[in-house]
Amino acid sequence: MRIILVGCGKIGVALLSALVAEGHDLVAMDNRQEVLDDLTNQFDVMCVNGNGADCEALQDAGVERSDLVIAVTGSDELNMLMCYLSKRMGAAHTIARIRNPQYHDKSLSFLRQQLDLSMSINPELLTAQELLHILKLPAASKIETFSRRNFEMIELRLKADSPLVGQKLMNLRDRFKAKFLICVVQRDSEVVIPRGDFILQGGDRIGLTADRTELWKLLKATGLAKRQAKNVMLIGGSRIAFYLSKMLLSSGSNVILIESDRAICHRFTDAMPGVSAFCGDGTHQELLQESGLSDQDAFVSLTGMDEENLLLAYHARLQHVSQVIAKINRDEMVRMAEQMGLESVVSPKDVVVNVVLRYARALESSKGSSIENLYQLMDGKAEALEFIVCSAADFTHVPLKDLRLKKNILIAGILRDRKAIIPSGSDVILPGDRVVVIAGHRRLNALSDILL
């Protein structure tokens, strides 16, 4: 597809990199020439120096023949205007980043309709939702949800003393009396879609799928189940912290916020009286202890600096806080977090990349199925996709054991009438099903792509 991306900040560059890797024809637009010069050295893309709200600049970018325009500048209003103009000038689809909490669900719905937006994305809200999922299932370092949370995939790192270590995958269901599937494993730098005779080792990073009931049954049986976080400390009064605080308070949790800007502290307490806000530098150990760090079930560092978030999370871990999460955007810092024993990290840019890639794939998908969800797993070396089977096709009504699947493909789940099925060889795919597929080292646009 031909895609124009306007706004080449952190999220813009992450999107550009991912979309170029997908094989799309990209045009990058920004009003900073030095940024565009860097992009031309990194990527094979056309660059246009200009304001995305300038019709001439959009014409120079070829908006009239573009399949998709993505506006991710720092201004919500500018992003909306760019998308409106792009659609009027002939763009087929538009996506705008809209971050301000004042644009709530009702107003966003109205704006999308009036501006003819294909999609709006809020990185901070999406990140807060991901954080909430992790806080509600403390054993997991990452959680992906399918079919409106009826089916989940969690990632976790196996410790040397885990009861899963040394076990063949084919024996696990009988041993732990739970219906689940370990569908992807990262060992060192290698990612595999394992077979039944695969033996787990300490240090493996695994992705497993199940519905929530069976997931809890497994975690309890393996001793991995932990109490949900009731008392949560947040460092940094960002938009993510604002959204997450509202969610935590609504779910009955207690929230402590530490923020150095007094005006931001007041805004939090005015909007959410249930938040206990402390004005001060979160890097001061005395302030953390006085604010009750040792009494917290969970600690989330959300400042604007990756290095600071990493060090704060590490300090909280040394203080024996049960669940520690850091917001980190740079890939090299994520790897450093793992080396420091910090397994739970979230990245707003990765969350947005998943959403946009899913939408771009859906535009390209063939008839017979459509992409509902897409998540990158194991540092982008594998993907989990949820397809909706729209009509009868060659792969429906055929036992899975008789399907000739490509290498590094696994059908991890079938969701039928709100029921999650961990498939066996005798199960079949039916029209209307939602099918979860794990793909290693390959790109899928449609469910039929899994077949040889």
Helix H or strand E encompassing 232 = strand 231-235
How many domains is the chain built from? 4
Instruction: Indicate the residue among 265, 300, 321 that finishes a domain.
Output: 321
Q: What is the pLDDT of residue 213?
A: 87
Q: Is residue 15 domain-shared with residue 109, that is, in the same domain?
A: yes
Flag whether the pTM goes above 0.75.
yes
Could you tell me if 160 and 89 lie in one domain? no
Please report the DSSP string for 81-145 in residue order.
HHHHHHHHTT-S-EEEE---TTS-HHHHHHHHHHHT-SEEE-HHHHHHHHHHHHHHSTT-SEEEE
Residues 14 and 114 in one domain: yes
Within-domain flag for 336: no
Same domain? For 171 and 189 the reply is yes
Predicted pLDDT of residue 116: 87
Residue type, 345: V
For the CA atoms of 337, 218, 422, 192, the dihedral, rounded to the nearest 10 degrees, stands at: 30
Asked if residue 133 and residue 109 are part of one domain, the reply reads no
| In a domain? residue 338 | no
Phi, psi of 119 (to 5 degrees): -160, 145
Closest CA relative to residue 325, chosen from 267, 381, 248: 248
Structural domain contains residue 340: no
Q: List, edge to edge, every strand of the sheet that includes 409-416.
A: 369-377, 382-389, 434-440, 409-416, 419-421
Strands 382-389 and 2-6: what pairing? unpaired
Judgement on whether residues 64 and 103 belong to the same structural domain of the protein: yes
For residue 228, the model assigns a pLDDT of: 83
**pLDDT (tens place) for every residue of the chain, 452 residues total:** 999 999 999 999 999 999 999 999 999 999 999 999 999 999 999 999 999 899 999 999 999 999 999 999 999 999 999 999 999 999 999 999 998 877 766 777 787 888 889 999 999 999 999 999 999 888 888 888 887 677 889 998 898 999 999 999 999 988 998 999 999 999 988 999 999 999 999 999 999 999 888 988 898 888 887 788 899 999 999 999 999 999 999 999 999 999 999 999 999 999 999 999 999 999 999 999 999 999 999 999 999 999 999 999 999 999 999 999 999 988 888 888 888 888 899 999 999 999 999 899 888 775 567 888 889 888 888 999 999 998 777 889 999 999 999 999 999 999 998 888 999 899 999 999 999 999 998 888 888 899 98
- Of 91, 121, 151, the position where a domain reaches its end is 121
| CATH label of the domain that carries residue 132 | 3.30.70.1450
Is residue 216 in some structural domain? Answer: no
The pLDDT of residue 227: 80
400 assigned to some structural domain = yes
Q: Are residues 195 and 261 in the same domain?
A: no
Report the CATH number that the domain containing residue 265 is assigned in CATH: 3.40.50.720
- Residue 83, both tokens: 């998308």
Query: Which residue segment(s) compose the domain that 427 sits in?
Result: 350-450
Residue 220 lies in a domain: no
Residue 326 lies in a domain: no
- Per the CB < 8 A criterion, the answer to whether 204 and 158 are in contact is yes
Q: Are residues 246 and 311 in the same domain?
A: yes
User: Half-sphere exposure of residue 407, counting CA atoms within 13 Å on the CB side?
Assistant: 2
